[in-house]
Amino acid sequence: MKIVHFRLDGDETVRIGVLGTDGVVIDGTDLLDAPDPRRIDLGVNDRFDLENPFLDRLRDRITAAGAINSISIEDVTLLAPVPGPGKVICIGLNYADHAAESGMEPPASPLAFSKFSSNVIGPDATVPMPLGESDTDYEAELAVVIGRRAWRIDEADAMSHVLGHACAKDLSARAFQFADGQWQRGKSCEGFCPVGPFIATAEEVPDPHDLGIRLRLNGETVQDSSTRQLIFGIPELITHLAAFVALEPGDLILTGTPPGVGFAKDPPIHLASGDRMEVEIDGLGVLENTMA
């Protein structure tokens, strides 16, 4: 199924549901358990836990959906499918040809860095341009959504901790990144982690290591590759990360970007106000955002 978060037009309530066929969204908000007032953490990301019966209820809702649960997609605003992840962990230089265009050797082990969870925005949301000369760049990425707590696990068991996959962008202010000598500021400007339009659950993506991945800038294809080119696959990434930090349901892993990024072009491409970016990954839809 394709999980979405959304708002109805004229209503600020954040809802959860499933993207159905024929241009409808099936609302499953009423299937959520009421938060336990005894808990300090109300656990909004528990809804992504594969052990939570909510996901089974949502699947049942799809087959039993009637008019009362089906809403035209024209009447909703899609939000980031994981509105507030606990962690956003990104992997750098995970395509060999991208490492080459960056003038760097492929890493011997996964190169991890983070974004702030508040950087996450949804489809069609605008990204504010950073102040000053930022040399902002685009990066198409496959996102993995964790669905079961992973802590010091075997690689053979890693995929059982995956809820699903989504399109993402790892936007980068290269001027900040290169000036600072480390990546936090350059990778974590406001709005620098668009995700969406939906999470395709694992059963919908038989092989996440065989997906075409593309980015179009103002209609022109500037990145065009396949997840077959990943240096470190998803099981290896999850095992590596879970060796030092517990991964929780709703956490995001951005798996790296293929070649074609702006700073490596001749001449370089820097994003400007009004630029429109579309990330398309086979089976995961199109994630469109505009620089504001």
Summarize pLDDT for 233-279 with one digit per residue, the tens: 999 999 999 999 999 999 999 999 999 999 999 999 999 999 999 99
Mean pLDDT of 84-101: 90
Confidence of residue 74 (pLDDT cuts 50, 70, 90): very high
Is pLDDT at 17 greater than 80 in this prediction?
yes
At 148 the pLDDT is: 97
**Alpha-carbon span 292 to 290, nearest angstrom:** 6
What is the percent of the chain with per-residue pLDDT over 70, rounded to a whole number? 95
Is pLDDT at 151 greater than 60 in this prediction?
yes
At 52 the pLDDT is: 93
Spell out the domains of the chain, with CATH numbers in brackets. 2-78 (no CATH), 88-291 (3.90.850.10)
Contact 252, 89 (CB under 8 A): yes
Confidence of residue 40 (pLDDT cuts 50, 70, 90): very low
Residue 274 is which amino acid? G
Average pLDDT, the chain: 93
Confidence of residue 68 (pLDDT cuts 50, 70, 90): low
Is pLDDT at 36 greater than 90 in this prediction?
no
| Pairwise pLDDT comparison (197 vs 39), residue with the higher score | 197
At 65 the pLDDT is: 58
At 22 the pLDDT is: 83
Please name every residue paired with 90 in a beta bridge, in sequence order, or none if there are none: 113, 254
Is pLDDT at 178 greater than 80 in this prediction?
yes
Confidence of residue 42 (pLDDT cuts 50, 70, 90): very low
